[in-house]
Amino acid sequence: MSLSPSPVPFNAKLYDLLWTQFHLQHFRDGQEAAITAAIDGKDVFVRLPTGGGKTLTIILPALYNVDEGITVIIVPLISLVQQHVATIILDGLHVLPLHWGMSHRTRKFVREAISLPIGAYAKGTGTPLPTFLVCTPEKLLGGEDDMKEIFRDLHKRGLIGRFVIDEAQCALNWARFRPAYKEIGRLREEFPDVPITVISASMTDDQMDTLEHNLKLKDPVRVLRPLDRPNLRYEIRHFCTDKDALDALVSFVYNEVGTESTIIYCPKKSDCVDVVEKLRARGVMSFETYYGSGNLDDDIVGSGETSSKKVQNMTPEQRSERASRWRAGEVQIMVATTSFSVGIHKDDVRFVLHYGPAESVTEWFQQSGRAGRDNKPARCITFYRRGSLMTHVRLIVDDWLRESKANTQPTSGKFIEFPSSLTEPIYEIHLMCIEALASAQCLRNALLLPYREMVACGDCSGCENRPPSPKLHDMTTYAVKALDALAECYRLDALVSETLLAGFLYGSSGDNLKKRGLDNASLYRTGRTFVGSDGSRTELKLDQIRAILHVLLIRGVFKLVAMRVKTHDFTLLYWKVAFITPPIFSWYCNNSNGRRRDPSRKP
């Protein structure tokens, strides 16, 4: 790996192209270094902030080296294929799309066009070999043998100049439900001499290391620029129940959003339905919905429910039409799953709201980056639901079970262990949300931490609400108490869910505890009092006990195991001991049971 050279030697031909093709006199920060590395035939990582001009780093090297063949741009979504094609056409350049949503006639035309040598023309069309081909990974790495042969033939004739993997974080984040992304390493195996550019606004250094290994890149140049967006204000608001969070989200939209362009992200399609029903009930009608058809958007209802709310999938045409209406300003609010999180080129988005946290810290950073591309102030708010941790884990585990051998075995009624790597990103963002309430950490720097950046903030909800001296308390004693409680529940032959364990420690009087005889156990209700390191005693509410249990789970004191209920096609999660003797650690604990509110803002 090598870092981008500074300064980049002056290249008169490059600047001439910049002016004649784009009527620009200067490059933005990082562009010239990325373009020069690509022109020199090197593998390149490009990480520029949203709105930093990544598209130019794709187009200009292809024009400079136009005789070296097609630049193949790999993108995750059909809508992004269409956006790239429209942008390149506006620049007066020749580009062809390739994705599964095209008609048979159009696919045939594209295949014929890219099967010809440079300078040749398709019969009767006058269409030369394109400078750019924009495709989804399935078309390049999927199962269509005729397309594989066309690309191999192009390569043999030296007509593939470069591969560009745009929105490259999807190659890792979406691999579990996009099998073609798992095959991304075959690019270097099948086309060993074709250089690769990897582009993203939100790849961490660790993710770049993983992709460098998977793609077998050769001493890639990394062009990295600071990612902080000072015009974005980050906030986390905490709620005990899904209903409270949903009501607060809809009230915020009704009272504060006004006519501004807004995105509301939901973890599941059924959550999108819940949000739009509430918006409609409040008289907010200027909205669209957008969700995909992959496992990411499957509907497994969380919070312990055992039924599914089925929502009709959208066709690509429906998604494209709804996204176009929102981009054109015909509707104000887009309620969407994370399938709407890439390729959103709309400058005037003032609010990005999350109904529950994103799937990881980097996903929240990437999704919140849809706001304020015009550099005007914008707000990014997560309405954090305490129960969403189990919902998130269940969704990820269900995806894993669909693809793993565990789902083909007669495992109904048996515990299934799953890799801890599945839950690490989810645990990371949930810990950030919990600590934002307990210790009021700086959210801006928490989001930048995976990118090894730190800035002065003072403007996020964490900085505004930070107490003068947050108190750290030794959690080891409480962890032992919780472990003993879990062991006693299992001795009494109870399968221990989060609800049961929290209720047992708190001393709830529910039938679920009584019918198992847990209300007469020796450790029943022993977790209601928290003794701080300073000797202070705090009477905990049930929701605070759940928050502490979440911290103990994330810190590795407990672990989760899955159990499939195949008769209902549903997964249950149960708690197990991870450490008989818990590690010694401290954590922030306070008496707050809901979100802190900035009194200067509207309710």
pLDDT tens, residue by residue, 93-111: 889 898 877 777 887 888 8
Residue 324, strand partner residues: none
- Is 149 inside a domain boundary? yes
Distance CA(101)–CA(99), nearest Å, equals 6
Indicate if 74 and 150 belong to the same structural domain. yes
**Residues 30, 227 contacting (CB under 8 angstroms):** no
Question: What phi-psi label fits residue 258: left (phi over 0), alpha (psi between -120 and 50 degrees) or beta?
Answer: left
Calculate mean pLDDT across residues 580-588.
63
- Is 483 inside a domain boundary? no
61 has pLDDT over 70: yes
How would you classify the pairing of strands 378-385 and 232-239? parallel
**Whole domain around residue 254: which residue ranges?**
232-400
Distance CA(77)–CA(454), nearest Å, equals 32
Calculate mean pLDDT across residues 523-538.
86
H runs (alpha helix) in 369-491:
388-403, 424-438, 443-448, 461-465, 476-491
- Is 84 inside a domain boundary? yes
Query: Positive or negative CA dihedral for 45, 50, 52, 56?
Result: positive
- Is 533 inside a domain boundary? no
Task: Identify the weakest region by mean pLDDT among 130-134, 313-317, 327-331, 432-436.
Answer: 313-317
Domain end among 188, 205, 224 = 224
Indicate if 99 and 245 belong to the same structural domain. no
Domain end among 350, 376, 400 = 400
Number of domains in the chain: 2
Calculate mean pLDDT across residues 60-89.
89
Indicate if 121 and 239 belong to the same structural domain. no
Indicate if 198 and 311 belong to the same structural domain. no
- Is 532 inside a domain boundary? no
Per residue in 259-315, pLDDT (tens digit) is: 999 999 998 888 999 999 999 999 998 988 887 654 333 332 222 233 345 566 777
**Residues 226, 314 contacting (CB under 8 angstroms):** no
Query: Positive or negative CA dihedral for 551, 554, 557, 563?
Result: positive
* pLDDT recorded at residue 55: 92
Residue 205 sits in a domain whose CATH number is 3.40.50.300
